[in-house]
Amino acid sequence: MTMTFKDLGLAQPLLQATEALGFTTPTPVQAQIIPHALEGGDWMVSSQTGSGKTAAFLLPLLHQLLAKNPNNKPVPGRAEPQVLVLCPTRELAQQVANDAINLVKFCKGIRIATIMGGMPYGKQIAQIRGASLVVATPGRLLDLHDSRAIRLNKVQYLVADEADRMLDLGFQEDIEAIHALCSERQQTLMFSATFAPRIMQLAESLMKAPQRIELASAQDKHENIAQTLHWADGVSHKHALLNHWLSDPTMEQAVVFASTQVDSEMIADQLRAAGHSATALHGAMPQAVRNRRLMSLRKGQTKILVATDVAARGLDIPTITHVINFGLPMKAEDYVHRIGRTGRAGRSGVAITLAEHRERVKVRAIEHYTKQPLQAEIIPGLEPKEKPKKPMHRPGDKRGGKSFGQHREAKKSGGFGKPKGPRFMQSGKSGQSSGQKRSFSN
């Protein structure tokens, strides 16, 4: 028998919202997380992108807000939120806030606000007054707290979304400061792509006896994403391969990942010169420009987005059919985040990696981290002139040792072994169950 949102015991206004949005069946992530979150306690969750984790934490927390305010009384106009969701990037914060707004369509007395950099202080200060749930990036949140524009001592529920990325961006001290400011909260939920040692250490400092739910790991195969590797002789060869894939008739929209902000602009310029509908997106752009470019992508006016890792984090557009790694990620774990921009909500996707022969150590690090080989393919007429060299064998290889370069890359990405930590709950993959109708996929 297929589970429905009604089976999860959610409040009626939330059920009305899910029905109005056309969602009837929870994803595996939602079916696992929502009951546990409603029971209480601190939880660490690892799941694939596009698995529905945003609704998995929003629905139970909104249910709790409704339970605490059964008469739908208006919230006083003070900036004292009860629920705080932390996100690593502005784009992800906006996406989470939009999802929350859609879910409270039939809820009275609940207001949603967003706090993030790149937007006027005055406008955000006005929005957070009377907000029950605030979605924020850590830096701007602390700025507003330091200026006494918001108080966090009334926060009852704290969510750290994409905690691994927040650590990558240097937010650990900010997160710890926020933790101290809302130390009387009832519950903490942490979502991360991995349970690397650094994530476990952060969890131990923020959470009380956290329990773990792993619905997907880096080693789980993205069954609905076809992953391909092309070796390239140089940048010009990469551009030829890129143009070939962007001419694929099955492509609806694509994200091309660049290593730097400058590269993203240059690649986008070259694609436009070649007749493609392309635009760049990176962290140095004013927020208003980033918003316009993302809106153009969502409306289908732009077909190709050339982005850096930070700018594309949290991007959730179902019509993205192709992800192309023009520049390889600095960390192997970012590869998993990148390809997760396609194949969302059960759709199929294509992930192509373009690598020069000198980058073979990074390719091996990705394969080591995901425990999956990247299948190298050749396009007729675009064959590489140079053949990739085989990894050098060093003393100890036959005893199961790793090459030195491979070890360094994997160690940086936290890719070795399962860390010791809180109680572990293992579940299946986060793909949709058979017979499932539309479901949340953010």
Q: What is the DSSP string of 352-366?
A: EEEEEGGGHHHHHHH
CB 307 within 8 Å of CB 279: no
Nearest alpha carbon to residue 281 among 17, 31, 89, 11: 89
Report the amino acid identity of residue 168: D
Least confident interval from 3-7, 81-85, 230-234, 320-324: 3-7
Please state, for a pLDDT cut of 90, what percent of the chain lies above it. 55
Q: Which residue has the tokens 């927040």?
A: 166
Question: What CATH number was assigned to the domain covering residues 5-218+420-426?
Answer: 3.40.50.300
Partnered with residue 136 across adjacent β-strands are 86, 115
pTM over 0.85: no
Q: Band of the pLDDT at 397, cuts 50, 70, 90? A: very low
Residue 228 burial (C-beta neighbours within 10 Å; 0-12, 13-18, 19+): middle
Least confident interval from 124-133, 304-313, 347-356, 401-410: 401-410
422 pLDDT higher than 60 = no
CB 2 within 8 Å of CB 435: yes
Contacts for 213 with CB less than 8 Å, ≥ 6 apart:
32, 33, 36, 43, 44, 45, 46, 425, 427
pLDDT score at 167: 87
Nearest alpha carbon to residue 346 among 252, 433, 218, 427: 433
Give residue-wise pLDDT tens across range 106-130. 998 899 999 998 888 899 999 999 9
Q: Band of the pLDDT at 395, cuts 50, 70, 90? A: very low
Give residue-wise pLDDT tens across range 12-26. 999 999 999 888 888
Contacts for 275 with CB less than 8 Å, ≥ 6 apart:
none
Q: Where are the beta strands (DSSP E) in 42-197?
A: 43-46, 83-86, 112-115, 133-136, 157-160, 187-192
Give residue-wise pLDDT tens across range 168-186. 888 999 999 999 999 999 9
CB 81 within 8 Å of CB 123: no
What single DSSP character describes residue 435? T
* Domain 225-390+400-412 CATH class label: alpha beta
Counting every residue written for the chain, the total comes to: 442
**CA dist., res. 115 & res. 113, Å (int):** 7
**CA dist., res. 363 & res. 378, Å (int):** 16
Three-state DSSP class for residue 283 = coil
The mean pLDDT value for 425-439 works out to 41
pLDDT score at 217: 57
Q: Band of the pLDDT at 303, cuts 50, 70, 90? A: very high
**CA dist., res. 410 & res. 45, Å (int):** 22
Nearest alpha carbon to residue 412 among 365, 347, 371: 365
Could you tell me where in the chain the CATH 3.40.50.300 domains are found?
A: 5-218+420-426, 225-390+400-412
Least confident interval from 220-229, 301-310, 355-364, 406-415: 406-415
Residue 72 burial (C-beta neighbours within 10 Å; 0-12, 13-18, 19+): exposed
Nearest alpha carbon to residue 192 among 336, 367, 78: 336
